[in-house]
Amino acid sequence: MKERKRFETRVIHEGYSSVGHSDSLAPPLYQTSTYTFQTAKQGERRFAGEEDGYIYSRLGNPTVSILEERMASLEGGEAALAFGSGMAAVSAVLFSLTKAGDHIVCSQGVYGCTFGLLELMEEKFGISHDFSPMDTEEEIRSKLTDRTTCIYVETPINPTMQLIDLELVSSIAKEKGIPVVVDNTFCSPYLQRPLEFGCDLVIHSATKYIGGHGDVIAGIVVGDQERMSTIRMTTQKDIGGIISPFDAWLLLRGLKTLAVRMDRHCESASKVAEQLKHHPLVETVIFPGQVEHPQHHIMTKQMKKPGGMISFTIKGGKEDAQRLMDELKMIKIAVSLGDAESLIQHPATMTHAVVPEEMRMKMGITDTLLRLSVGLEAYEDIWEDIENALNRIG
């Protein structure tokens, strides 16, 4: 039986042995588009699935395979697939689980581009969707229909930081035989592993905490072997949203420090959230680590730590929120997250601008809501930058 190492060890070693790779300590970058066959018959056997081996990098690549095995281990899944972006991963999963006329139930709030994809699927293919707070068993059941083929969850929700009880959702879904898909981008597998709570598929925008350095765009899906094989040979192969070998190599490099980085992100975010709470110009702070958070009990149940993301509202209007961003000196205005640099953005006019205003308000995305990704800088410097900006607009 294979020895099961701890997370912090697997994030560095899983899926790779230097044996057979010229004893290279670091996983090699196989920057190739295709592979040669020793004979025509070997090529025939590989295409027929009778012999293992690589054929073409859209179908598989050794560097990518190492990343996929490592991510599957970290999430506790049987297999993983790597994609060229988080949205390539989201679209591949949703296309694989639905057909024309089907129905999707979503958490009350999703990433803006996921919202746009859901709207596109409804317009083009008649695949409808409903949003639900998923806060009670009755609420979840009320949204399910005989056409529901997927439950799609973000937790924490981007950008409102609301939490969903994954165990509750998955228990209801299993009764109905409906797969549960969880976007785990805000947590990374270090903080939360949805498969352990009965969910079926986990998605990451690996651009964020998995990469961690703001230099790669990528997506990951983890699940059981059967579903992953189906997605690999259908939506991934035929739509083609694959990851490049170099991007997979960058993710493998970034993953090695995931546990260390997440500890620092969480520690600093907790301190910043506490300081924000006491500033007179800050109206509300939404951070799962604070006992005032309405789903704090869910955080303690399914997350190792509260994460490095904070949302907060300031007193005033949209112009005040934008002015605060402009007054920051070190913290950058950018729509990504999980980087070494602290980043801030205005969801209503940036990541969630595609969402109609009425829907944004229902999601809790107001004009004064700001989303802060707490980076790896010294906590004192992060808070000093925020405090000085707040004082300049006060």
Active-site residue, 183 included: yes
Active-site residue, 208 included: yes
Helix (H, G, I), strand (E, B) or coil at 240: coil
Largest CA distance in the chain: 75
Question: Rounded to an integer, what distance in angstroms lies between the CA atom of residue 237 and that of residue 177?
Answer: 26
- Name the active-site residue from 111, 152, 209, 379: 111
- Name the active-site residue from 183, 247, 339, 367: 183
Structure tokens at 370: 């700001």
Residue 353's identity, in one-letter code, is A
- Name the active-site residue from 58, 253, 256, 362: 58
DSSP secondary-structure letter at 98?
Answer: -
Question: Rounded to an integer, what distance in angstroms lies between the CA atom of residue 254 and that of residue 213?
Answer: 7
Active-site residue, 253 included: no
What are the φ and ψ backbone dihedral angles of 79, each rounded to 5 degrees? Answer: -155, 165
User: Within 10 Å of residue 10's Cβ, how many Cβ atoms?
Assistant: 17
Is the CB of residue 132 less than 8 Å from the CB of residue 143? yes
Helix (H, G, I), strand (E, B) or coil at 333: strand
Structure tokens at 44: 């025939």
Question: Rounded to an integer, what distance in angstroms lies between the CA atom of residue 68 and that of residue 252?
Answer: 10
CA-based torsion, 233, 234, 238, 242: positive or negative: negative
DSSP line for 44-81: HHHHTTSS----BTTT--HHHHHHHHHHHHHHT-SEEE
Active-site residue, 70 included: no
Active-site positions? 58, 111, 183, 208
